[in-house]
Structure 1
Amino acid sequence: MGTVRDAIGGGDGADPCHELGPLKTCTRAGTQCGSCVPLLSKLLGQELAAAGLEVSRAICEHIPLSRRELFESVRVLGLRSFDEIIGRLGSGTGCDLCKPAVASVLASQHQEYILDGGRAALQDTNDRALANMQRDGSYSVVPRIPGGEVTPQKLAVIAEVAADFGLYTKITGAQRIDLFGASLDQLPDIWRRLVEAGFESGHAYGKALRNVKSCVGSTWCRFGVQDSVAMAIRIELRYRGLRSPHKLKIGVSGCARECAEARGKDVGVIATESGWNMYVGGNGGFQPAHAQLLASDLDDETLLRYIDRYLMYYIRTADRLQRTARWMEDLPGGVDHVREVVVDDSLGLAEELEAGMARHVGTYEDEWAATLADPERLRRFRSFINDPDAPDVGLPRVEEREQHRPAREDELSDGRVLLGSRIAVREGA
């Protein structure tokens, strides 16, 4: 903290860093996993305010609006492309800050295929590939497993795909199965088999709903008082693909023993004898937060209605890359304000927020199914543009615990690593 404050104030005679980009460059803060970037941004604002300087909420130099202002401007003006937005609301050609922010806003409002209409160039690497890039340049594949429930037949398909493509498999903390090590050109073939088996994208690559975690609930557990699996599946299928300022995680526990760790999620649902308690604003990560009680003993329909309102209010008003916990901290009144808006409808937005969620639910389309159905969209998944039919021959792998992982540099015999395949180098070259 002291180093960051010194950089903002221009300690030791250095030029002061009054913007996030230069601050990250000179302190290296926020340049690794990125988890501390929201805290860094908040600290920058506090230090500037304490010094009597104006605190800019602009997304970047190209769009002089906060994300909330951008969202409302796009909604009111009916803008549908980056060019329209930059022409009406900004200037220049955009950057790696405003382009993904615009892409997220457009995806939240218009529910269209995220790579069409010139939007592919706005996305980061993961969204462009509809998969998470790993440290060695390969990609991971994460099919959705709603509520963590999966049939033996579907498990067999995942196993067959992993074996046939030589993928490393791991069960994640989100009750899903992650398949690692796919090359870009393999992704369509992998997803074709998964989609045919009834799977769809788990959106592990997007700022969207990731998963809904559940315990086994009253179906099996002798302590369960409600069917947490059925509710978790219903919630996940309702909000799947929902694009937001940051990733979203939800948990549903079948009793107060809290085996699904629902209070560590953006939305937590815990069963009671009379219905469901709804908690909001929890997360793990760099700054863990326990979710706070929003409403008690809700029936199924009221619970979903409140989640609709809560998520849409967050999507409309949060800053770029701001989790729900930090968003609620910054709201005047915190959870009490959220309760007034979501439960009491103090702003008169309930019907509008519910309608926005209804549009999302009614227009949802699995991104990988849509990709496989369109030859033009499939053209993006080529390892070599100048030789589109040539497969990527793979990256060096090391066997460990009966699976194959990326080789470390010290494990390579020649010490040379190139993106793509290894290429032999003659002595003296």
Structure 2
Amino acid sequence: MSQKKKLIVVGGGMVAHRLVEALVERGAYTDWQIDVFGEETRPPYDRVALTSFFSDRDPQDLLLGDQSLWKTPGVRLHRGSKVAHIDREAKQIAARNTTFDYDALVLATGSYATIPPVTGSDLPGCFVYRTVDDVAELRAWVTSRQEKLRRPATGAVVGGGLLGLEAAGALTALGAETTVIEFADWLMPLQMDEAGSGALRRLIGQMGVSVRTSTATSTLKPGRDGNVAKMTFADGDKLGVDVVVFATGVRPRDEIARDCGLAIGERGGVLADVDCRTNDENIFAIGEVAHIAGRVWGLVGPGYSMAEVVADRLLGGEATFKGADLSTKLKLLGVDVASFGDAFAVENGSLEVVYADPVAGVYKKLVLSDDASTLLGGMLVGDASSYAALRPMVGGALGSDPTAWLLPEGAKKPTGGTLPDEANICS
């Protein structure tokens, strides 16, 4: 019987988990010894569902898949094990003061939360929102402060994107009076246009969340107890705070790749071809650390696709990463939000059909080809019930009057004053 080849996976997150699943599904453990090194002490968990941890859920509930995966012969998960170095010439890694040989290595180190250069960002009471431990520490802090102060904590979230609004929802669920601070002119600028963001802002405002846009945070100052107490903005305004959460974006965790001489993208991320292979033929990169086809792909869906490619390649296949659908559908602070396809009407000559009902808190937009026959994309705020039907139709014919997709369920087409006075349909 021939000796098994050795595969090392650096990183123990969602994409690494999917890679191992894909390999086990293909029976790769008969040919490969698979060793996964994760820095966190927990098995891979659902990072997308972190906010549910605030509902007193056990962290075990977030674990991905059947845990028997890690009992598969030939599969080992090394928890709490940071890989310190990769020796490409010797084809070895160093972890836990031990060296491990490899025939193939996959970088799935993900990304880390960035903190803007704000004076005082390291004060007690300042957090990022990235891991179960981050969330546990944040929850403990807010609960403790509210008990001590005998009032709701005042919370500020720096960053009004997807993660920032998730964090705002978490603070609000803990009883904190929350303000979201966004540098751009409106919330979720990567997913929403100004009108859609305006609808979202009104809806979360009704839930007690304040929003400041076009605002930069300059300094944080401590109170007498040394904890964060005051936030000062670039325009001179101030806000009293008991807790601050930074959700201003992430960057690829590519340090170990840099240290061993792998090629890195101009703005970070390990450069890889469409087969997810780096400039070292024995090393692959997948997930948020990978820079493929001119970009870093910041969602879990593309990472899963890359994992499938590498699983196929390790078993002699020829799969390639063909890009991925960056559509998103989320419930933020109880508000349904979705965007798909060319939501910003980037394509020349494209048409926009919009339904807006500010009273109901609904904004819907479809982007069509110049002859109005092909669906190119869209965005939905307040009512995303048509998302599942619309997203697969991108690039194809709508097959009906586009307004039929925008009106509330059961409503007639806009021909005779059947809409609320505040509702508008335009194209």
TM-score for the superposition, normalised by structure 2: 0.23
Q: Looking at both structures, which has the greater relative contact order when contacts are Cα pairs under 8 Å and sequence separation is at least 6?
A: 2
Bigger strand share = 2
TM-score for the superposition, normalised by structure 1: 0.23
